Amino acid sequence: MTHVHSTATRPGTAAGGDPLRAPISTRVVVDASGAGATGLSEALSALGLSPEAPDAGAGAGSEAPAAYCALLLGEEAYGAERSAGLDRERIRTAALAMAAAGRGRLVLVTDATGETHAGTDPDRYARLAADRAWWQHLVTEVAGRGVTGNTVVTGYSPDLGHHLSEAAEAGLLRYLVQRRPTTAADVAATVAFLVSEGCSYLVGETVPVDGGAGLGQIPSLPAGTPTLAPRRSAPQDQPPPEPVTGQDLLGHKVLVAGASSGIGRAAALHLAGRGADVVLAARRTQALEEVAAEIEALGRQAWTLRCDLSDPEDAATLGERAWKAADGVTTLLYAAGHLGFSTVGGDPASAARTFAVNLHSFVAVTEYLTARWREEKVPGAVVGVSSVSSTLSPVAGLEYYGASKAAMAQYIRCLAVSVARHGIRANCVAPGIIETPMGDAAGPEHRRGWISRIPAGRVGDPREVAAVLGFLLSGSAARVTGAVLRADGGFGLGDVAPLRPGFPEFVEVESP
């Protein structure tokens, strides 16, 4: 059954989008000098932010900046100048001032990937690696006091001061999934997200704005082709990023699978707030109707489709039904999930349902839509909701859940390579413990133990995950593909609260 909801904007309804997209402050300290700082500052200004240099005379008693962006650029293989490294004292002073104020965003923009390249200086790489390790420790230190810190990896970017010969650049681009350099605008759009109100549960994460360089794609190189320049996807082929507020998803039709509750519901409302029309799919039709009514109140259109994603036949038709209902779908958000438990000796029924919902139905919907996008030359985007259980947090009885979510993440990474040539992106978000019905499945003791290992010191809110999902589906993430981002409050940093000086006791902090 399909229900259609009106797109007419009601008098008095907001048209400015989700407030979580707003920057925590329009003033952003950009701590660097040279071409990289100039290029990034100009791109941030174009998004409505106000970059400024750090106050060299600022001391411990100075006013805390709300948003601080440090540049660490020195990748020799990209032709970068030798880096002077991070000004650790200055950055630490700013971070502690933020922590004292209980609010702030730290962003490291770097071209240092940790990869090795023949003929380059190992000591130079070691210094960059040391600064990145120092940054992660600083992020962990302030995470529990209202400050989130993350890293942007740029890839090859002449806008930020990288210089290669034409032949060397052609060789490098051949190994990229998206065959073009990263622009300052690409980086600025991601920085704008990381200093936004909604970026509050992404802690210590690395966002690869590198066109899939880190995926390790191995291209085919027939005899005689190594010296030929590959086809480049010109930056001008991509629409410029929208300002950091406003309805940047107008014209998009998003299929949200698992939209009746939790992260899927929050994401559907977030996307509608940014201007998207939404196809809502789940088993519980009454809950879908309630979400659709809220989307209609935002002035957007909604369609509701009942679909049991544990049923292979039902799931196999969802992509086509959504396409027909909305007259096309431009993006897919798969937020459905089943927390299936195992027992000693196995539980075939639980295993079948868990893999059906978490993996097989996701693959079926994704493959239908990516095929349609290729046929109709639609630059679509897919984002799947995985889990930190895919790589971290092994829990007794969750073998099926963890394995199914790990398979989803690897499928996304491989898909990103396969469809990039068609202008299609694929990414994944791996939430930690979130305040949802699924998050409530953890018993009090397990929940307490889990939170004690989260540097942010609290459970995440579905809206915080929705903000990350919205970023990945939007044009602001045009250079991000094949990424798996953990929205886990820093759990993936591996911090153990009882081992940290000054944290002898566990204190639960309420979610925002």
Residues tagged active-site: 387, 401, 405
Q: Which has the closest alpha carbon to 362: 432, 303, 428, 436?
A: 428
**What are the Cα distances from residue 348, in Å, to 315, 336, 397, 400?**
20, 20, 13, 10
Residues across the chain: 512
CA angle 261, 488, 361 (to 5 degrees): 45
CA angle 428, 43, 36 (to 5 degrees): 90
Which residues face 485 on adjacent strands?
Answer: 429
Are the CB atoms for 468 and 202 separated by under 8 Å? yes
Are the CB atoms for 362 and 319 separated by under 8 Å? no
- Per-residue burial over 440-452, b if 16 or more Cβ lie within 10 Å, else e, is eebeeeebeebbb
Structure tokens at 362: 């996701």
Q: What is the DSSP letter of 458?
A: B
Are the CB atoms for 21 and 275 separated by under 8 Å? no
Task: Measure the CA–CA gap between 123 and 121, rounded to whole angstroms.
Answer: 6
Give Dmax over CA atoms of the chain in angstroms: 66
**What are the Cα distances from residue 216, in Å, to 177, 185, 313?**
9, 24, 35
Task: Measure the CA–CA gap between 307 and 385, rounded to whole angstroms.
Answer: 18
Task: Measure the CA–CA gap between 101 and 96, rounded to whole angstroms.
Answer: 9
